[in-house]
């Protein structure tokens, strides 16, 4: 479904006692699209933290809206990359929902100016959006947020965050119940950068250590690995899992990451892929498909704010190009590649497929509703690479001198 709307047609609808509920909800939905599209001076399509409103088969659509603002002609385009619903909004310029006016904050919204980043759980993010009456600077901070694997990332300068902390502190001090107060206190602590949930912190430590080996993993898989590790230790020691958590420090978690890297020996963690023996024959058509898959995976990682994953995909793409360049003549039936590169590529594509299943945004160049098909293609390509490594590779990977 594609909607062409004019924001001016919804003026006063909130005060009309006869306005139907669906019209009110749609008006609020479009206003938030305008806020998100004008909160940042960035041009081109931009992934937002706004959830799609649709409920296909009575289940919430997992997509997060992608918006694009253009000034000539003045219109805002929006779409859900998961279900394909999209629209165009006119009549937004100069409205109370237009955040595009220049300000001291706007001048610093570029990537290099963001001096602070905070990730909020999605429920906390929506609690702030729905419950707090914000000034325009705080609206910019919240509506230019982007979705990440473990929630919603806010980015801005210290002053932006201080303003928002003031609003949140007021809500915490005036909460009607202890439960509500705890929720607001948790948001306040996160905005100030205080220690996060133990599992969230531990996952960050393990992911950072894995990145030193050139390994990229889905956050959910790493969190599951940590939970399983803690449960195993608790059973072996006869302690509660909470007791074990208190005894596990960051160095223990880094050790867990290093052990995981050893278990992934076929990927040769930490090794320079260019120096690895080229021992797995890959059909030229498979090479071409792999190039396409990795490029699209890099797009997905960039769209969803994952520079580590994008770097991993680009690293393998660079290797593929170097291998082809080193060929003595035009490629024939097969090309030899390092099995470590294929093993890393397989896991990166699998993890990207999982991201898409969970509602990650796809490249704006792709057709609407293509996320499911892209995820299936990534999974198929990953399986093909694993079959090649299993058939032609060695369990621990060859050494550079072999």
Average pLDDT of every residue of the chain: 83
Confidence class of residue 102 from pLDDT cuts 50, 70 and 90? very low
State in words which class domain 273-392 has.
Answer: mainly alpha
Has this prediction a pTM greater than 0.75?
no
14: three-class secondary structure by DSSP: helix
Three-state DSSP class for 130?
helix
3-state secondary structure of 64: strand
Assess whether the previous peptide bond of 5 is cis (omega < 30° from 0).
no
Rounded alpha-carbon distances, angstroms, from residue 196 to 73, 121, 186, 368: 45, 11, 9, 36
Q: Which of 47, 220, 199 has the alpha carbon at shortest distance from 149?
A: 220
pLDDT in tens, 209-256: 887 777 766 677 788 789 888 888 888 888 888 888 888 888 899 898
Cα–Cα dist 35/381, whole Å: 39
H helix runs in 132-174, sequence order: 136-143, 158-173
Per domain, the residue ranges of the chain are: 1-100, 102-196, 198-263, 273-392
Whether the Cβ atoms of residue 35 and residue 92 lie closer than 8 Å to each other: no
Task: List, for residues 110-157, the tens digit of each pLDDT value.
Answer: 444 446 888 888 888 999 988 767 888 889 999 999 888 778 999 888
Question: Going by C-beta distance under 8 Å and a sequence separation of 6 or more, which residues neighbour residue 367?
Answer: 84
- Helix ranges (H only) for 175-283 are 178-191, 198-212, 219-237, 241-247, 250-263
- 66 pLDDT band, cuts 50/70/90, is very high
- Radius of gyration for the chain, computed over Cα atoms and rounded to the nearest angstrom: 24
């Amino acid at each position: 479904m594609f909607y062409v709307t004019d924001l001016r047609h919804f003026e006063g609808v909130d005060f009309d006692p006869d306005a139907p509920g669906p019209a009110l909800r749609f008006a609020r939905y479009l206003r938030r699209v305008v806020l998100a599209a004008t909160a940042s001076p960035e041009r081109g399509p931009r992934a937002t933290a706004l959830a799609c409103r649709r409920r296909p088969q009575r289940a919430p659509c997992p997509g997060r809206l992608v918006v694009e603002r253009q000034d000539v002609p003045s219109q805002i385009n929006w779409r859900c990359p998961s279900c394909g619903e999209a629209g165009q909004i006119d009549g937004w310029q100069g409205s109370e929902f237009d955040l595009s006016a220049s300000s001291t904050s706007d001048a610093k919204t570029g990537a290099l100016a963001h001096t602070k980043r905070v990730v909020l759980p999605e429920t906390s993010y929506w609690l702030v959006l729905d419950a707090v009456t914000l000034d325009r600077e705080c609206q910019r901070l919240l509506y230019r947020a982007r979705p990440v694997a473990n929630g919603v990332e806010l980015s801005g300068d210290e002053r932006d965050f201080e303003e928002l902390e003031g609003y949140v502190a007021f809500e915490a001090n005036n909460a009607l119940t202890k439960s509500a107060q705890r929720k607001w206190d948790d948001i306040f602590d996160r905005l100030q950068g205080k220690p996060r949930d133990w599992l969230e912190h531990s996952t960050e430590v393990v992911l950072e250590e894995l990145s030193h080996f050139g390994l990229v993993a889905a956050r959910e898989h790493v969190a599951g690995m940590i939970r399983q590790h803690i449960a195993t230790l608790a059973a072996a020691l006869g302690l509660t899992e909470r007791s074990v958590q208190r005894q596990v420090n960051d160095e223990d978690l880094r050790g867990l990451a290093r052990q995981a890297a050893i278990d992934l020996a076929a990927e040769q963690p930490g090794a320079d892929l260019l120096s690895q023996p080229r021992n797995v024959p890959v059909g030229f058509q498979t090479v071409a498909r792999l190039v396409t898959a990795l490029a699209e995976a890099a797009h997905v990682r960039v769209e969803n704010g994952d520079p580590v994953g994008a770097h991993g995909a680009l690293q393998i793409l660079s290797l593929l190009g170097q291998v082809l360049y080193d060929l003595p003549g035009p490629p024939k039936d097969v090309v030899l590649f390092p099995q470590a590169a294929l093993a890393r590529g397989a896991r990166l594509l699998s993890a990207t497929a999982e991201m898409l299943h969970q509602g990650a945004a796809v490249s704006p160049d792709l057709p609407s509703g293509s996320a499911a098909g892209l995820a299936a293609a990534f999974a198929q390509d990953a399986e093909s690479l694993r079959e090649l490594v299993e058939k032609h590779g060695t369990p621990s990977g060859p050494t550079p001198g072999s």
